[in-house]
Amino acid sequence: MSRNKETARKIRLMRKINQNRRVPGWVIMRTDRKVTQNPYRRNWRRNNLKL
């Protein structure tokens, strides 16, 4: 990727970075382990982003 990215693309990339986190422990506790996985998790090797 190029070093100089447009602002809109940076915002989209930051959103994907924030989505790519595990579910917090307090959410798992509050839902009695019904919610344990994040459906938006993604691996940089396996999935490509369409930006």
Domain count, the chain: 1
CATH value at residue 17: 1.10.1620.10
Domain that holds residue 5: 1-51
Rounded to two decimals, what is the model's pTM? 0.75
Helices (H) and strands (E) in the chain, counts: 2, 0
Q: What is the DSSP string of 27-48?
A: HHHHTTTS----TT---TTT--
Q: How confident is the model at residue 3 (pLDDT cuts 50, 70, 90)?
A: confident
Whole-number Cα distances in Å, 35 to 1, 17, 42, 46: 35, 20, 17, 23
Instruction: State pLDDT tens for residues 5-48.
Output: 999 999 999 999 999 999 999 999 999 999 999 999 999 999 99
- The total number of residues shown for the chain amounts to 51
